[in-house]
């Protein structure tokens, strides 16, 4: 691992209030960690001998983190896109056996190599925008074999790219056609979670709490199983309607409640008390022509941390741009560009339970994005433009 001294940069540290900007800054890296950060003029003599990289006054931010994706999946859903444009709703397509279940059929039919190869172009699009940590969910298998295959495929991405993958078991994503929901949860989903955990394939546990998926009581059984294994939980909650998932997630001290368009002020209070992050997914809101925006004002008032993620999946959010996600968060949900940047860094890390990244500070991982922009707000401002100059992963440019 090379040590390095980055000089002549503007630093958006996100450490402290606002962007935490440092002008004419320097950042020292040893063994993949940030060892010093501050104004160049204050650089201690013992760091001055490190190999220097002059960044030409470019902006450095923490590397983006995509904290909610369904990157591993078989097939595509372009036909469903056409049907929705002709007026069919997401829920109608799901009830007719399309939607998530059509991706389940395609994923069951794909071997591990095929799943990995299909995921790489989506992943590479994220890497091209500086992303250094990606969460990947299972949930398109809904049988033991395919759920495990998805998680193994997700883990394999780490050996093929310079990226940290966080895996989430989403067995409770939809009920497979061959089961009823209660039998599925108790006889398939929970036993599969045990097997996947024993293989070291699970970092967190998720579910889809919704009229077209699982009830709070069913999700609670999955969460109890997660708790017994000492695994953190998160939940797709209040995406299409209000079913009580957010309150349930807060009761289990979930890392995050995701989507949350239909969450209420009470839900925001419960999330704040539990420290549960709201993961906003504007790509799904946009794709599904949703009109109910998440309760941003209540989240702000209660001090709920808001993260932003792509929800990259073939159905409700075929989005693999973290920059466009920031722009959508601002334009569709009226986040400030500062909230959007925090949403893909500091708060995205919190949504994954990671405390060693998402800010620029001594001791944290040197996962960095160097941008050809002057001001951080430019990252959320432009549409379809990628100003990334360089990505640093674990202390090295790549």
Tell me which of ligand DI6, Fe ion, none is bound by residue 392, counting a contact when its beta carbon lies within the kind-specific cut-off of 5 to 8 angstroms: none
Instruction: List Cα–Cα distances, 304 to 112, 208, 327, in angstroms.
Output: 38, 21, 20
Written as six digits, the tokens of 373 are 């922009």
Spatial strand order of the sheet with 306-308 comes to 65-66, 133-137, 164-172, 204-209, 234-237, 256-259, 277-280, 306-308
CA distance 280 to 282: 6
**For residue 364, what is the DSSP state?**
S
Nearest to 263 by CA among 227, 304, 222: 304
Q: In terms of CB distance, is 55 or 94 closer to ligand DI6? A: 94
- Supply the minimum distance, in Å, between the C-beta of residue 268 and ligand DI6: 20
Q: In terms of CB distance, is 201 or 284 closer to Fe ion? A: 284
**Of 119-127, 158-166, 313-321, 374-382: span binding ligand DI6 (CB under 6 A):** 313-321
Q: Which long-range contacts (CB under 8 A, 24 or more apart) does 329-332 make?
A: 329/280, 329/282, 329/380, 330/380, 332/282, 332/285, 332/286, 332/293
For position 246 contacting ligand DI6 by CB under 6 A, the verdict is: no
Q: In terms of CB distance, is 147 or 311 closer to Fe ion? A: 311
CB atoms within 10 A of CB 113: 10
Tell me which of Fe ion, ligand DI6, none is bound by residue 322, counting a contact when its beta carbon lies within the kind-specific cut-off of 5 to 8 angstroms: none
DSSP letters spanning 27-65: EEEETTEEEEEEEGGG--GGGTTSPEEE-TT-EEEEPPE
Question: What residues pair up with 236 in beta bridges, in sequence order?
Answer: 208, 258
Burial class from Cβ neighbours inside 10 Å (0-12, 13-18, 19+) for residue 133 reads buried
8 Å CB contact between 283 and 304: no
Binding characters for ligand DI6, 271-290, by CB under 6 A (x = yes): -------------x------
For position 376 contacting ligand DI6 by CB under 6 A, the verdict is: no
For position 311 contacting Fe ion by CB under 5 A, the verdict is: yes
- Supply the minimum distance, in Å, between the C-beta of residue 6 and Fe ion: 35
Written as six digits, the tokens of 44 are 């201690």
For position 388 contacting ligand DI6 by CB under 6 A, the verdict is: no
- Supply the minimum distance, in Å, between the C-beta of residue 327 and ligand DI6: 19
Residue from 234, 236, 342, 391 that binds ligand DI6 (CB under 6 A)?
A: 236
CB atoms within 10 A of CB 137: 29
Tell me which of Fe ion, ligand DI6, none is bound by residue 102, counting a contact when its beta carbon lies within the kind-specific cut-off of 5 to 8 angstroms: none
- Supply the minimum distance, in Å, between the C-beta of residue 205 and Fe ion: 14
Residue from 167, 218, 239, 327 that binds ligand DI6 (CB under 6 A)?
A: 239
Q: In terms of CB distance, is 311 or 367 closer to Fe ion? A: 311
For position 19 contacting ligand DI6 by CB under 6 A, the verdict is: no
For position 339 contacting Fe ion by CB under 5 A, the verdict is: no
Residues 152-191 that bind ligand DI6 (CB under 6 A): 173
Residue from 100, 165, 249, 328 that binds ligand DI6 (CB under 6 A)?
A: 100
For position 103 contacting ligand DI6 by CB under 6 A, the verdict is: yes
- Distance, CA of 258 to chain centre: 10
Residue from 74, 98, 99, 282 that binds ligand DI6 (CB under 6 A)?
A: 99
CA distance 252 to 47: 45
For position 318 contacting ligand DI6 by CB under 6 A, the verdict is: no
What residue ranges in 119-216 does DSSP mark as E strands? 133-137, 164-172, 204-209
For position 214 contacting ligand DI6 by CB under 6 A, the verdict is: no
Nearest to 168 by CA among 85, 119, 234: 234
For position 315 contacting ligand DI6 by CB under 6 A, the verdict is: yes
**Of 95-103, 195-203, 224-232, 346-354: span binding ligand DI6 (CB under 6 A):** 95-103
Angle at alpha carbon of residue 170, lines to 164 and 176, rounded to 5°: 140
For position 313 contacting ligand DI6 by CB under 6 A, the verdict is: yes
**Nearest residue relative to Fe ion (C-beta):** 311
For position 135 contacting Fe ion by CB under 5 A, the verdict is: no
Residue ranges binding ligand DI6 (CB under 6 A):
70, 99-100, 103, 173, 208, 236, 239, 284, 311, 313-317
Instruction: Tell me which residues touch Fe ion (CB under 5 A).
Output: 311
């Amino acid at each position: 691992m090379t040590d390095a001294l980055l000089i002549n940069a503007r630093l958006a540290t996100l450490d402290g209030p606002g962007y935490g900007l440092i002008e004419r800054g320097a950042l020292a890296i040893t063994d993949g960690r940030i060892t010093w950060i501050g104004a160049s003029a204050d650089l201690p003599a013992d760091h001055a001998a490190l190999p220097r990289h002059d960044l030409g006054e470019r902006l450095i931010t923490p590397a983006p983190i995509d904290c909610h994706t369904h990157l591993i999946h078989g097939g595509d859903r372009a036909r469903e896109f056409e049907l929705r444009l002709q007026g069919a709703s997401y829920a109608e397509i799901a009830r007719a056996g399309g939607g998530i279940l059509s991706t389940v059929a395609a994923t069951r039919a794909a071997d591990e190599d095929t799943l990995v190869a299909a995921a790489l172009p989506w992943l590479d699009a994220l890497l091209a925008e500086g992303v250094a940590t990606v969460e990947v969910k299972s949930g398109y298998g809904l049988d033991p074999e395919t759920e495990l295959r998805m998680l193994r495929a997700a883990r394999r991405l780490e050996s093929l790219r310079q990226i940290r993958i966080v895996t989430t078991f989403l067995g409770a994503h939809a009920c497979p056609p061959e089961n009823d929901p209660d039998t599925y949860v108790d006889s398939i989903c929970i036993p599969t979670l045990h097997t996947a955990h024993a293989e070291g394939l699970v970092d967190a546990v998720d579910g889809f709490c919704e009229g077209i998926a699982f009830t709070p009581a069913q999700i609670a059984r999955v969460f109890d199983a997660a708790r017994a294994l000492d695994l953190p939980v998160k939940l797709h909650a209040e995406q299409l309607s209000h079913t009580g998932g957010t309150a349930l997630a807060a009761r289990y001290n979930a890392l995050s409640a995701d989507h949350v368009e239909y969450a209420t002020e009470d839900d925001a209070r419960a999330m704040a008390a539990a420290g549960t992050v709201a993961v906003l997914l504007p790509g799904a809101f946009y794709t599904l022509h949703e009109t109910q925006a998440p309760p941003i004002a209540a989240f702000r008032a209660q001090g709920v941390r808001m993260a932003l993620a792509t929800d990259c999946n073939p159905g409700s959010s075929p989005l693999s741009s973290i920059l466009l996600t920031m722009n959508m968060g601002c334009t569709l949900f009226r986040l400030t560009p500062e909230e959007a940047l925090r949403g893909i860094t500091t708060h995205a890390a919190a949504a994954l339970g990671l405390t060693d990244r998402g800010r620029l500070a001594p001791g944290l991982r040197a996962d960095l994005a160097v941008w050809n922009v002057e001001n951080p707000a430019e990252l959320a401002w432009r549409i379809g433009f990628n100003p990334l100059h360089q990505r640093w992963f674990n202390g090295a440019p790549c």
